[in-house]
Structure 1
């Protein structure tokens, strides 16, 4: 009976060592550069005119280029905490596919991007697409510095 438990003890030790090694490797990785509270949000609009946040979008808090899991039709974009974000019609954020947005809130004395159509989405929640009610978005890029 003692011999049959030895192989299982060895297996459990190997499993524990592998888990410990995996945990230590994960802790040793360089953390991503994020600032607390930064995120971009995307909203769709249904046939009744109701807004719905597209909440299952990974990478919304991360700076840099992010691809949508699927190309989704978006009505409105909001961003908080980033210096600037841009949205794109194709994956991998190619500059020539940047989508033009317009601020639908009040005129701004301090942010010229909010006074004319632009591809630079500055912090705020009232960004609409210049080209139409809903536009298919494939990727976005947010930066912590302008």
Structure 2
């Protein structure tokens, strides 16, 4: 009986200490999506990308050729040609949607991807992306 009491106490202590952890700053529903062009010339979401819902710097599992980027819920994101999000490897994007009166980033080439789904690369149709960084307003 004492054995089971110790197990229950250890589990309870582990659960309580886990609840005391400071959670990472997240926004419900926030995510970044990457799209490539498949062998049939169609837009295809690159769905096996871990960490898409979390702020911070993330490396792609592989360097993938990306055609379009969409982000929702973050204040801004940036994409990089090298791992670990080095500033000197920031890729330039352009908004392919309508002219925006409220978001100046959508009216000129920029490195800051604000919320929206029509971000294309300034450098070409498809560009290798190695990492990305998203942030939320604090």
Regarding TM over 0.5, the answer is: yes
Matched, 1:62 2:49: no
CA distance in 2, matches of 1:135, 1:95: 17
Q: Deviations over 1:52-85 (max 9, x none)?
A: 1112211111112111122211111000111111
When residues 57 and 18 of structure 1 are mapped into structure 2, their CA distance, relative to the original with a 3 A threshold, is: farther
What is the TM-score of this pair, normalised by structure 1?
Answer: 0.83
Which of structures 1 and 2 has the bigger CA Rg?
1
Aligned counterpart for 2:42 among listed residues 32, 43, 50: 50
Distance 1:90 1:13, change over 3 A: farther
- Where is the helix percentage greater, Structure 1 or Structure 2? 1
Q: In the aligned structure 2, how far is the partner of 1:136 from the partner of 1:14?
A: 53
Give ranges in structure 1 of 5+ residues lacking alignment.
1-5
| Count of aligned positions | 138
Return the alpha-carbon distance in structure 2 between the equivalents of residues 133 and 18 of structure 1.
55
CA separation in 2, counterparts of 1:48 and 1:27? 48
- Deviation for aligned residue 1:13: 6.0
Matched with 1:3 is: none
By how many angstroms is 1:125 displaced?
Answer: 0.2
- Report the alpha carbon displacement of residue 22 of structure 1 after superposing the two structures with TM: 3.6
Give the aligned partner of residue 142 of structure 1.
134
In structure 1, distance between residues paired with 2:44 and 2:14: 38
Shift of 1:139: 0.9
CA distance in 1, matches of 2:65, 2:93: 14
Name the SS for the 2:49 alignment partner: coil
Aligned equivalent of 2:17: 25
Q: Aligned-pair distance for 1:18?
A: 4.7
Query: Which whole-Å deviations, capped at 9, do the CAs of 1:23-57 have from their partners, x for residues lacking one?
Result: 33322211110112211111111122211111221
Q: Is 1:102 matched up with 2:94?
A: yes
